[in-house]
Structure 1
Amino acid sequence: MLRVELGDWSAMAPSLELIRREVFVIEQRVPEEMEWDADDATGVHALALIDECPVGCGRLLPDAHIGRIAVRAPFRLRGVGRAVMLALLDAARRRSMPHVELHAQTHALRFYERLGFVAEGPVFDEAGLPHRRMSRVLAS
């Protein structure tokens, strides 16, 4: 059973660290010092669980930036990333954010496009990986 919880870093750090270390630091070779930042303390975090096992995560910052979307490899293509994103979009709406933005890894552009995001600007490097800025209007 897949469910997504929203909370703050202090309450969810062990599970969030497990997922992000596995996906970003180990799998994608993002330098450890680039993965952890002060924004974790100010963001709203989404934690996806399947049968109480942490499988995916993401965060929404006060400036309407969504990031750190990660799904552990064995749980991909099961709707985990979509569930995380829908929870974060709902959190942004509840905070009356008129739009959100993110930096998408280029291999995931279609995933975000299916969620209503539009790519903007050129491809750029972030943490050694190609990214593209994307945004979505939330106002009705």
Structure 2
Amino acid sequence: QDGGAGLLGRMAVLPEQRGTGLGAALVRAAEDAARERGLAAMELHAQTHALGFYERLGYTAHGEEFLDAGIPHRHMVRDLG
């Protein structure tokens, strides 16, 4: 789907694996797969406590905070170009 956006959903890393680079590697692998399919962007809904993690990977928050399963989230996007 040339020029569309991929959606990264429900990603989690076990607490004992956090800080090892595993989460960033998973996000990058998903981005690579999206690029291979001709997608121009990646979108996700980040729990607010994880905003910094995704910002460090190049994502930008958009819109207002919202609840998903009772947990505050923000919509985030990254251009894959």
TM-score by length of structure 1 reads: 0.53
Distance 1:136 1:120 in 2: 11
**Aligned match of 1:12:** none
1:81 partnered with 2:23? yes
Q: Whose helix proportion is higher, 1 or 2? A: 1
1:72 partnered with 2:14? yes
1:130 partnered with 2:72? yes
RMSD between aligned residues: 1.3
Count of matched residue pairs:
78
| Unpaired runs of at least 5, structure 2 | none
- CA offset digits 1:83-109 (Å, max 9, x no partner): 100100101111110111000000000
**Runs of 4+, deviation exceeding 6 Å:** none
Residue 62 of structure 2 contacts residue 74 of structure 2 at CA under 8 Å; is this kept in 1? yes
| Unpaired runs of at least 5, structure 1 | 1-61
**Aligned match of 1:118:** 60
TM-fit CA distance, 1:63: 5.6
